[in-house]
Structure 1
Amino acid sequence: MPILDTYTIYFLIFMGNLVMCLMLLIFAKTTGFEVLMRYYTYAKLLQTSGAGVLLFRGIVPVDFSVIVGNGLVFLGIALEVCCIVHIDRVPLKSVVKRWLQVAAGLAVGFALLYLAGANIGIRAFISAMSIAVYSLVAAAGLFFRSNSTNLRRVVALFFLILAACQVVRALYAFSLGPNHAPFSLSLSQMFAFISIYLHMLISTMSFLLMSREVIDIRLQEAATKDFLTGIYNRAQFMQMSEKLLSLMIRQQRPVTVFMIDCDNFKAINDTYGHAVGDSVLVNFSQDTQAILRKEDLFGRYGGEEFIIFSPNTTDSDALIMGKKIQSAILLSAAGDLTIPKYTISIGTATMIPEALADMEKLIKRADQALLQAKRNGRNQIVQF
């Protein structure tokens, strides 16, 4: 059967990395050079340089080609996997530095083995196993994240397959030992180089697709979440609560709406500044979110006023939940020296589907209860 020239395949790997570098540079220049995109472009530049040095062995001195070429590839793949694992957040410089330090250590170890006379089979084994390990790290980093998406899980599966291909390549090279020839015309070598070519394509395509997914997620969050606290904004809260209310009406289950206001918030802003006021709102949102159930909806109604839609909650359940929120706020404010001590007032209204099935009326009643809590001296719960 006809066999593809492995040298040609490796040349395509070099050219593929080079073209992708140019495309990344053009893309970044036209859309903005974000930090993660810059790191990924550096990764492809390192891999392209390393592949070029290895490709032109003979023109380039052999020792230089083996040591420097493989070293650049190790560094490039490490930085690439770092970017893929941190696809939805920019890694700290210290984190990137540790990734590169590990890769540099691997490159130095490889160089020492070469200088010590390790045969080409052992060197190919180490190179392939290193790529396999990095592929496994990428797969684990994408699959076992709490916010993993379907796209990331599919990409993780691809990296798992690529890792298996590299393990097969490594074992084959190790079995041949000094008889291993990188550019030999054999079926096994053809598949080995094709797997490297696929790794180059899949990793770059996956990075770009996942980057686009991150942008889409952020745009959706910007449209539905409050920019400061990260909870639902008023429009999204109302839309979701209306749907959930309809379900509760059909199931004839009780629903409670909480209207919550941070007491004397204007005084906090005037005394400590708006930055501290924002910290208070964030603190309140985080502490309250930790108490609420998964089915509860929590939103910022406006300014320092918040709203909770709590399905399957009676008036007695609401009182217990309100006291829990107040207790959590007191404990948190006492233990956090960055924010002043503050209290909250809570008004609640519970819907019995047979008697009331109107969201606007329910919110109005909870708001009236909140106003009464303020008139009564604040820092208390009033139920309509």
Structure 2
Amino acid sequence: MLMTAREAPKLGLGANLPQFSLLVLVNAFVGGMVGIERSILPTLAEVEFDVAGRTAILSFIAVFGVTKALSNYLAGRLGDRWGRKPVLVAGWLIAAPVPFLLMWAPTWNWIIVANVFLGISQGLTWSTAVIMKIDLAGPRNRGLAMGLNEFAGYFAVAVAAWATGYIAATYGLRPQPFYLGVAFLAAGLFLSLFLVRETHAHVRHEAVSPEGGMHAALGEREVFAVTTWQDSNLSSATQAGLINNLNDGLAWGLFPLVFAAAGLSLSEIGLLASIYPGVWGVSQLITGGLSDRLGRKWLIAGGMWLQAVGIAVTGMTSSFGGFASGAVLLGLGTAMVYPTLLAAIGDVAHPTWRGSAVGVYRLWRDMGYAFGAIIAGIVADSFGLTAAVYVVAALTFLSGLVVAGRMSETLRRP
């Protein structure tokens, strides 16, 4: 049965502001859940569990990255097939054990188990929040929508990282810092279950519009192939996303150890751990909308190069000011890249398989956590922390070259 003009949902941020704003808030709580680990888990591994090797310490990031990547893919497929809201709610339910495992885990293996639950939850909740915002925003403000989404998530990561570092310095590493996770979990689940509404009607409406994107009908295997390697724009975005999260894994897992080796206190490490995602989060309020006006390609390439500079600066210094400068540059570069990559995927993919394309992109992007943890851990154990930092900086610079040479502009101007 065809939808009448009266029944047809409207696309755009203004027309969907209440639901869009609610989803921004939900994503802030999603970000907060991962932020509770950002500043203190590497220290917790060394102090409470006597985990010494860098590769072993970074195992929690590798596990998180693999499980999140796979659930990203699942979220896209299930969201296209059964609806977005059930997937969002399921993600919050799966997160329920995480803060309690982090508070009371008797061995490091239980921390790994917590990160399995966290990775699955993050994949389902964050991916679905992204897809729902793309559904609501329509084609004209896609970059701005992604900027607002990623701002909320990563600013919350920054606040949670700072707060847990402060609480740990004041009260101890466990259990007090992880009380925040219980609050984030309760708030996110309540909003998702009772206030968030399904967005499938918006997808169906956009699918019949002339701005719907490429290839109106693709199967699951075709979407995977097109997004991973066949389409030069989608595959260029996918590899950039993977390398971006490879260096984010470095920042998450090794930077706190770099800062500690320089003699910084736990509260200073917590502050530094918050600067990078904080700058990243706030700057996306500008960069997301900027990509709607200037285009996607050169923001992505330039952002990867700026990230490489920020990582290299961190490797060159041993002072709080130097580390803070590197964190600011890394945050700015990531802000140029993160929402713009999602907007580029939305530019190219047709609404009927857009959720699946976002899932494939986020599958490879978050595999970057695992690759980053393995590469950085092996290099750090073999050649030292500084060598690992420089290797990741070089990979990030090369990723920008791939975008510059292979990707074309995806923004379709009216």
Q: Please, what TM-score do these two structures have when normalized by structure 1?
A: 0.28
Structure with larger RCO (C-alpha < 8 A, sep 6+): 2
Bigger proportion of residues as helix:
2
Bigger proportion of residues as strand:
1
Question: If you compute each CA radius of gyration, which structure gives the higher value, 1 or 2?
Answer: 1
